[in-house]
C-alpha cells in the first residue's frame, strides 16, 4: 500500500512537471504565469518557425519542380530576417 501511494505521488509530481513544461516551457512544480513579453516572444518564435518552413518549401519547389520560386523565397527570407530582429529586440528589452 505504501509503494502504491508513493507511486501515485511520484506520478503526480512528474505529471505536474510535464504539464508545466509543455505549457510554459519551464520546468517547475507550480504553474508560472507568463508575462506579456513572454507571450509576445513565444508568438514571434512561432511566426519565425512558420516563415522558415515557407522558406524551405520555396527552396524545395525550386529544386524539385524547377519552378521559379525566387520571389516566394525572397519574401520568406525577408520575413525571417524581420522576425529575428524583432525577437532580438524583445529579448534585449526584457533582458533575456
At 41-95, the pLDDT tens digits run 889 999 999 999 988 888 887 777 666 667 878 888 899 999 999 999 988 887 7
Question: CA triplet 52, 53, 54: central angle to 5 degrees?
Answer: 90
Does an H or E element contain 2, and which?
helix 2-24
Domain boundaries, the chain: 1-33, 35-96
- Which pLDDT band holds residue 14 (cuts at 50, 70, 90)? very high
Packing angle of the helix pair 70-94, 36-64 (nearest 10 deg): 160
Stated as kind and residue range, the H or E segment containing 69 is none
Amino acid at each position: 500500500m505504501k509503494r502504491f501511494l508513493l507511486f501515485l505521488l511520484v506520478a503526480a509530481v512528474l505529471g505536474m512537471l510535464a504539464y508545466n513544461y509543455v505549457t510554459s516551457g519551464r520546468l517547475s512544480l507550480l504553474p508560472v504565469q507568463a508575462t506579456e513579453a513572454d507571450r509576445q516572444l513565444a508568438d514571434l518564435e512561432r511566426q519565425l518557425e512558420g516563415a522558415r518552413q515557407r522558406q524551405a518549401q520555396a527552396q524545395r519547389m525550386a529544386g524539385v519542380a524547377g519552378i521559379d520560386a525566387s520571389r516566394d523565397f525572397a519574401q520568406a527570407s525577408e520575413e525571417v530576417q524581420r522576425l529575428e530582429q524583432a525577437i532580438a529586440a524583445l529579448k534585449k528589452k526584457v533582458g533575456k
